[in-house]
A and B are shown apart, each in its own frame.
Chain A
Amino acid sequence: MAIGDMMMMGSGLMGSVLAQAAPPAAMSDVHLAHYLFVACVMFVIGLIGFLTRRNLIIMFLCTDLMFQAAGVALIAFSRYHLNHTGETFTIVLITVAAAEAAMALALVVLLFRKKESLDAEEWTELKG
């Protein structure tokens, strides 16, 4: 029950793992801002990675990092609003991330077979 104890330290958690937790209480804006700050920073780091790294696999990892950032923001808002909508969308997010990862990795394999390289700059067929 260590996790449960840990959760108890939070202020006003809604529906903890233990049914006997404290009643749901509002989360303050400043606390929300903590989580959103983490989400924003993660997102921007992911974006920077996507823009600067040239390895296709790392680029896709960076997109997944951005997904994670979005997930953190969604869950934080879900908690803030005391409902489950944000979590519901996180389910969608994980689904899409999984699908994206599958497709992206299949593409990476395909592309790697063609050029024996993971360098994104090798692929300039989109040239206008």
Chain B
Amino acid sequence: MMTLLTNTHGLMHALSGAALAVSDEAGHAAGHASGPVAQTFAAGPMFGLLVVALPLLACILCGLCAMGRVKTKLPAFLTVLCLAGSFLVTLALYLQHHGQPAGTAWIIQGFEWIRLDYRQMVDSVVQSRSFIANFGLYVDSLTCLWMLFVTGLATLIALYASEYMSHDVGQGYNRFFAAFSLFVFSMACLVMADNLVLLYLGWEGVGLCSYLLIGYFYKKPSAVAAAKKAFILNRIGDLGLALGIMLCYVHFGSVEYKVIFEKCAPYMASLAAGQLDQIPLIAQFIPLCLMIGAFGKSAQLPLYVWLPDAMEGPTPVSALIHAATMVTAGVFLIARTYPLFLMSEYALPIVAWVGALTALLAATIGMAQFDIKRIMAYSTVSQLGYMFAGLAVLTSVGGAAHVFTHAFFKAMLFLACGAVMHGFAGQLDLRKLSGVGSMPGWRVVGIAMLVGCLNLAGFPIITAGFWSKDMILGEAFANSQMQAIGWILLLTAGLTAYYTFRVYFRVFVGPKHYEPGDEHHGDDHGHDHGHGHADGHDEGHQTSGKHGFHPHAPGWAINTVLATLAVAAFVIVPLVALNHGGWVKDMVGASSAQFNEKAAYLIAAKGDLHTKFFGFDAHKAMMVVSSIVGLIGIAVAFVLHYQGRTTAATSKADALLPAFGPIAKWAQNKWYVDEFYNAIVRMPLLALAQIFHWFDKLVIDGLVDFFGWTPRGLGGSLRPAQSGEMHTYAVGMAGGLAVMAVVVIVVLM
């Protein structure tokens, strides 16, 4: 109770500070003006290990359920229970950690995991060294922030999935929840690791679970292909991460954050003194390697193509893994190793450009898609680009805040789309659905969708998405080096608002119309639809369905989760809005992702972090400008897709398409990026593989066959000599002996 009060006090403090901050003229710099908080390390409470252990327990229990062929919802129950427990433990951990002085990083020692002692020759002196990677947790405020929304959302989505996956009870249900729990465990390892190797374990673990869950409908070829695509593209990124970790060990002699951050301190001092050349080149390479890993996992250019395909997995998976948590692992990695990224002159600008271009590209593709889940997927890619850009334009607070808000509203959007998909037999085409929000039983879904869309579109003031996006935009424009980034992001914001509300106006409002998807017949792969199940919540079924089809309105679990998320989306507004980042700023600012202002100036290299936006303070101007851009986007969507629309299939936008010429078609075809990759990577590899295949078949196999056939042919030609008659052999022997004797004599004499 006391700790809860303390927390309330903290929130109140943030709220009361807001008024001051708004009136503060220099408030735009609040994200970093307070200066770095010194990091201190201490041993943490052991119960923190439960955060990691409980999902693992859930995974094991689900595995036991699978072994016992449980045909009930027991695994879902267990998973929700364990994940909720994990969330509560995280909350307790957070509250206890909150009571510590700012900048405290707890290290909770689990057990000794990897320890390699060896001797190494260093400058002709043999030194004993050891490679240590413990199963230890590193708990600072950044960890708390991430784990709170990871475990919280995971709990809610598990609850949602318990209903969503109900048709698979007894089939893949156990498998689904086992992988789900394993994912949360891996994510917890990734986020809470106190060293890069454990992070790598979690990183690979989430990749594995992602693979397993994308390929959940393993009888469906497209799902299998998507799973493989995700896995293989992530391998490319993971190679970069692995190289980065190796470089870290080579350079810092440790993979533990504590040691790395301590050894970074002198570099930070050099940075502050403006002596970038004092930092060894090898250290400057580390962020470049780590960045590749982050791009792979967080679906950034050029490795983003797996994420839209990953929507083949069940929707809860898309919501949790491919929208809210796993894909933010790249953002987390950069935030966690922010000091390393500050050490390189090029790392953050590269991240900024990659992020901004990804954001724009994905938004343009998203505008032209018709599959609402895919639109959400591209939106995720786009928003991840935002987050990267945010980190890179030196507002780690903004990046983290956007992760935080995005996790809520994007999960909600996905879950709402999933509810639609669930109810309309897999129908996701926005041309075939209309007015869903006003159908009976779909009200909660409609409202949740609206809240999510408002957040994503950045509707001014009342949405959390607006505040987090604004932080990034403002900081981009405030940075004289990042003006171009700012403009790209601003354009993206407008496009985002448009395509978001395009979905909303097409699907959730307007004339009522639906065509069911094709997943109620030819049900050979057991896809996620649920009619025909007497699961007690079919009051929402519409009677006027075509072909006798009844939409399947969501039940209590889905509605509860959506409602909770919708409320949460508003509850978190003050956490990011007040005091220029509010609670999130406190959390991030006291962690390793804290921002070193002097270093930033240096990185901005002769640049200015207080650039004016057409004579106005960039942050304040952005609030207005981004609001206007967002509203314009919404308005355009309203005019084109809602006003006067009478059918589901057509809208006024169709008439505008010819004006864009081929561009619309290109965008619809995702700018042919997949085809491009196919041509420059896959085809040459395939050709090479063919060459090797034939080389193997002709040369290698030919050689082997040759060695096989030679004795065979020889034997075949000599076989007649083996008549089996003793005399023949004896004559041969005697003749041979005679010849040998003659030869020996002739040679000797």
Contact = CB atoms under 8 A, between A and B. Distances in A.
* Complex contact flag A–B (Cβ < 8 Å): yes
Interface of A: 47, 50-51, 54, 120-121, 123-128
Interface stretch (B167-175, B479-487, B719-727): B719-727
A125 B726 CA distance: 10
A126 B734 contact: no
A16 B727 CA distance: 44
A120 B725 contact: yes
B1 interface: no
Contacts of A123: 724, 726
B723 A127 contact: yes
A126 B727 contact: no
Interface residues of B, number: 13
Interface of B: 715, 719, 721-727, 729-731, 734
Contacts of B730: 50-51
A124 B724 contact: yes
A72 B501 CA distance: 118
B731 A51 contact: yes
Contacts of A51: 727, 730-731, 734
Contact of B724 (A47, A54, A126): A126
A79 to B, nearest CB: 25
Contact of B727 (A47, A120, A125, A127): A120
Given A123-B724, A128-B715, 19 more contacts: A47-B734, A50-B730, A51-B727, A51-B730, A51-B734, A54-B727, A120-B725, A120-B727, A121-B725, A121-B727, A123-B726, A125-B724, A126-B722, A126-B724, A126-B729, A127-B722, A128-B719, A128-B721, A128-B724
A74 B649 CA distance: 114
B289 to A, nearest CB: 65
Interface of A is mostly: loop
A126 B719 contact: no
Contacts of B722: 126-128
A15 B422 CA distance: 119
A127 B719 CA distance: 9
Contacts, number: 31
Contacts of A128: 715, 719, 721-722, 724
Contacts of A127: 722-724
Contacts of B729: 126
Given A47-B734, A51-B731, A51-B734, A120 B726 contact: yes
A125 B724 CA distance: 6
Contacts of A50: 730
B729 to A, nearest CB: 8
A98 to B, nearest CB: 22
B726 to A, nearest CB: 5
A51 B727 CA distance: 6
A5 B721 CA distance: 56
Nearest to A122: B725
Contacts of B726: 120, 123, 126
B418 to A, nearest CB: 73
B345 to A, nearest CB: 79
B512 to A, nearest CB: 88
A95 to B, nearest CB: 24
Nearest to A56: B726
Nearest to B729: A126
Contacts of B715: 128
Contacts of A126: 722, 724-726, 729
Contacts of B731: 51
A54 B730 CA distance: 12
Contacts of A125: 724
Contacts of A121: 725, 727
A120 B726 CA distance: 7
Contacts of B721: 128
25 contacts: A47-B734, A50-B730, A51-B727, A51-B730, A51-B731, A54-B727, A120-B727, A121-B725, A121-B727, A123-B724, A123-B726, A124-B724, A124-B725, A125-B724, A126-B722, A126-B726, A126-B729, A127-B722, A127-B723, A127-B724, A128-B715, A128-B719, A128-B721, A128-B722, A128-B724
A128 B729 CA distance: 12
B720 to A, nearest CB: 9
A125 B721 CA distance: 14
Contacts of B719: 128
A112 B219 CA distance: 71
Nearest to A52: B727
Nearest to A124: B724
Nearest to A127: B724
A4 to B, nearest CB: 40
B229 to A, nearest CB: 57
A126 B727 CA distance: 12
Nearest to A120: B726
A51 B715 CA distance: 25
Nearest to B737: A47
A127 B718 CA distance: 12
